[in-house]
Structure 1
Amino acid sequence: MPHHGSCHCGRIAFEVEGEFDAAMECNCSHCSRKGYLLWFVPREQLRVSTPEADMASYRFNRHVIDHRFCPQCGCAPFGLGIGPDGKPMAAINVRCLEGVELDSLKRVPFDGRKI
C-alpha cells in the first residue's frame, strides 16, 4: 500500500510503499527533541518527488543516518542510511504521513542514548 507524505509546507513530498502497525520511538538527543516515530523500509520503497537541491540534511553522532529536512519549514520527514544488513534503507517519520492515526500505532522503544 502506498503512503503519501510531506514536510509541513509541502516542499518535500514523497511516497513510501509498505504496511506498518508500529513505529520506533528512539530516546536519543535528536529523535526525542524532534518527536520522531520511525518506520524503517528498504530504500527502494521510498520515492521522493523533491529534487535533492531542495532538501537540507543533518548528520550527528556516528553520522550513519542522513536526516533530510525542509529548509523552508524545518520539518524532517525521513532519513537515509545503510541498514544493519548493509543495504540502503530509509527511516520514515510516520508523523509526516497522511492519514496515520497515531493513537492506534504501537510505539516500540529504542534506547538510542546508549549508542
Structure 2
Amino acid sequence: MHEGSCHCGAIRLTLPATPTKATLCNCSACRRVGGPWVYFEWGTVKIEYDEGARGEYVWGDRTLTRVFCKRCGCSTHWEPINPEPGARQGVHLGNFSRELLASVPVRRFDGADSWTFIDP
C-alpha cells in the first residue's frame, strides 16, 4: 500500500496496490492540473479528509467530479458522480512519493482531440 496526500496533508489517500502504469492526458482539465493519473476500481482507494478540506469541480458531460484540497489547492483525484459496478476513479500520482512517481511507466493520452494514446 502507498500513502500520499495533498501538499498540506488535509486530504490523505492510500492506494490498494502499486500502480503498473499511469496516464498523462492533455485534455482541457488535465493539462491545467497536471498528472500523471493512475486508476483503480471505485471504492478501493482509501481517502480521508480534514473537515472543510474537500473541494469539487464538475465539468463537461457531468459524469466525473475532480476533487481538490480547498486549503492548498492540490488536485488529488477524480471520482464518478453516479458510480456503477466496475466504475473506476483516477488518482493524481503527484501526491505520492518521488520514488513511486519515478517507478511507474507513464503513457501519453490525447484527451483533447483523438481520444487515443499518442506514445511514440
Determine the structure 1 residue equivalent to 2:93.
Answer: 94
Q: TM-score, normalised by structure 1?
A: 0.83
Equivalent position SS for 1:44: coil
Name the structure 2 match of 1:78: 77
Find the counterpart in structure 2 of residue 15 from structure 1.
14
Give the number of equivalent residue pairs. 114
Question: What RMSD in Å do the two structures reach over aligned CA positions?
Answer: 2.4
Between Structure 1 and Structure 2, which shows a larger proportion of helix residues?
1
In structure 2, distance between residues paired with 1:13 and 1:28: 25
Structure 1 runs not aligned, ≥5 long: none
Question: In the TM superposition, what whole-angstrom CA distance separates every residue of 1:54-80 from its partner, at most 9, and x where no partner exists?
Answer: 301011122222110011100011111
- Identical-pair percentage: 26
Q: Deviations over 1:25-77 (max 9, x none)?
A: 11101111211111110122211121675301011122222110011100011
TM-score by length of 2: 0.80
Preserved CA contact (<8 Å) 2:25 2:35: yes
Gaps of 5+ in 2: 116-120
Q: Following superposition of structure 1 onto structure 2, how do residues 64-75 of structure 1 map, counting pairs within 5 Å?
A: 64-75=63-74
